[in-house]
Amino acid sequence: MNQIKPLSEYQPVIIRLEDVEKIYGSGNTTVHALDKVNLVIHQGEYCSIMGASGSGKSTVMNIIGCLDRPTAGRYYLDKVDVSGLSDEELASIRNRKIGFVFQQFHLLPQMSALENVMLPMVYAGIELSERRDRAREALIKVGLENRLNNKPNQLSGGQQQRVAIARAIVNRPLLLLADEPTGALDSKTTGEVLNIFGELHNSGITVIMVTHEPEVARQTERIIWFRDGQVIYPHLTPQEMLEVAVIS
Ligand SMILES: Nc1ncnc2c1ncn2[C@@H]1O[C@H](COP(=O)(O)OP(=O)(O)OP(=O)(O)O)[C@@H](O)[C@H]1O
Ligand SMILES: [Mg+2]
């Protein structure tokens, strides 16, 4: 009998982690945050990363996002081995290929929504008029066309997170990474943010999100489960995840 593969597995591999380890500290304060992690993610996948607090979820996201390097092992991003690159090289890859969304938004308080979203394009060397047009377009995409000139403290939590999403997608990344993006939001706003992620996934962006909430993870297609720095379930369906969440 032919084994039917998920459609995503016919797409190119965008992330490949091989025996990735991350060790923090030294001597008797050593923490083995990642312990031989192997993981393959294809272009266009929509994944959640779940697992108990301290299991290594943020650590692996920081490595996938080129914010940090593995202590040992290899990381291939879009077929390039990025495990040994310099800080400058990692920063350049990050700027071109990756968008980030965090639980605490991390918007600059003195800047308007539009200016916050224009910022990543400054580093990418795009000229002012195009920066403004593209930032406006990204904010329209997340439903904030009426809030372009508001500063973060004049926006609700959900609106601030949508500004952060617009900022993350404005350089048209291959990969959108979100570490507990709905952790500070109520359930209605969580739904709005997930709708945007769903649309981005439908437009072809690879989306990877860390979450503690089964209701959030079940909106994605694949759940990767961590325990003690290891991937114990690399490929759960939403239904299987609900069963694992009950016993974990
Ligand atoms: N900079 C650091 N220095 C030392 N230890 C660290 C550092 N960052 C993380 N750790 C440790 O590494 C382990 C994994 O941490 P990580 O932040 O990846 O967990 P997590 O799964 O994201 O947890 P949470 O759900 O609470 O966010 C933990 O034991 C943590 O204490
Ligand atoms: Mg974390």
Q: For residue 5, what pLDDT is reported?
A: 67
Contacts of 26 by beta carbon, 8 Å cutoff, 6+ apart: none
Q: For residue 3, what pLDDT is reported?
A: 61
Contacts of 134 by beta carbon, 8 Å cutoff, 6+ apart: 121, 126, 170
**Domains in the chain, ordered, with CATH?**
48-66+86-247 (3.40.50.300)
Q: For residue 248, what pLDDT is reported?
A: 72
Kindly report the pTM of this predicted structure: 0.93
Determine if ligand 1 sits within 6 Å of the CB of residue 55.
yes
Determine if ligand 1 sits within 6 Å of the CB of residue 189.
no
Measured in angstroms, how far is the CA atom of residue 56 from the centroid of ligand 1? 6
* Closest of 21, 63, 68, 9 to residue 230, by C-alpha: 21
Measured in angstroms, how far is the CA atom of residue 27 from the centroid of ligand 2? 24
Measured in angstroms, how far is the CA atom of residue 171 from the centroid of ligand 2? 25
Q: pLDDT per residue over 102-142, tens digit each?
A: 999 999 999 999 999 999 998 888 999 999 999 999 999 99
> Which residue among 59, 104, 177, 209 is best mutated to probe the pocket of ligand 1, counting the most ligand atoms within 8 A of its Cβ?
59
2, with CB counted inside 10 A (0-12, 13-18, 19+), is exposed
Evaluate the CA torsion angle 215, 221, 174, 225 in order and state its sign. Answer: positive
> Which residue among 26, 58, 103 is best mutated to probe the pocket of ligand 1, counting the most ligand atoms within 8 A of its Cβ?
58
Alpha-carbon gap, residue 247 to 237, rounded angstroms: 16
**Regions of the chain with pLDDT less than 70:** 1-6
